[in-house]
Amino acid sequence: MSEAKLINYSTADFGAKADMELRLFKWQDQKEEYLPMLEAGGMLRFTTMRVWNKEGVFRLGYLFEYKDEESYKKCQLIWQEIEKNMKAEMPVKVFANRGIVLDDTKFY
């Protein structure tokens, strides 16, 4: 497996638990269409997580790993299409953090 060179970690805050759960449901419904396109664009990994250590906050975390900056740029067009479809239905605040991998220690 290739090693990720560029990682993005984003969080998405929802106004209500129902909005967050609807987002998860909609992604499950659409992901089989989009995942092959993202993989072809150079995405190596995509992880969705529920942030649980923030009381009263309905937050999802997303980890995106890409081969390189070019792969990231290719995949952004696909993610923009996905987000356009999703945001139209519910308000969400997204905060993105991007970084280039400098050190990666694995214990598995």
Supply 59's token pair: 């937050």
Element (H, E) at 51: strand 43-51
- The residue to which tokens 């519910």 are assigned: 90
Residues 22-29, mean pLDDT to the nearest whole number? 91
How high is the pLDDT of residue 88? Answer: 60
Q: Which domains does the chain have, with CATH numbers?
A: 6-100 (3.30.70.100)
- Provide mean pLDDT across the span 25-29: 91
Greater model confidence, 8 or 100: 8
Mean pLDDT, rounded, of the chain: 89
pLDDT of 3 strictly over 90: no
Smallest CA-to-CA distance from 11 within 99, 94, 98, 97 is with: 94
User: What pTM value is reported for the model?
Assistant: 0.84
**Selected residue with higher pLDDT from 57 and 87:** 57
pLDDT digits (tens, 9 = 90+) for 60-100: 999 999 999 999 999 999 999 888 877 666 678 888 888 88
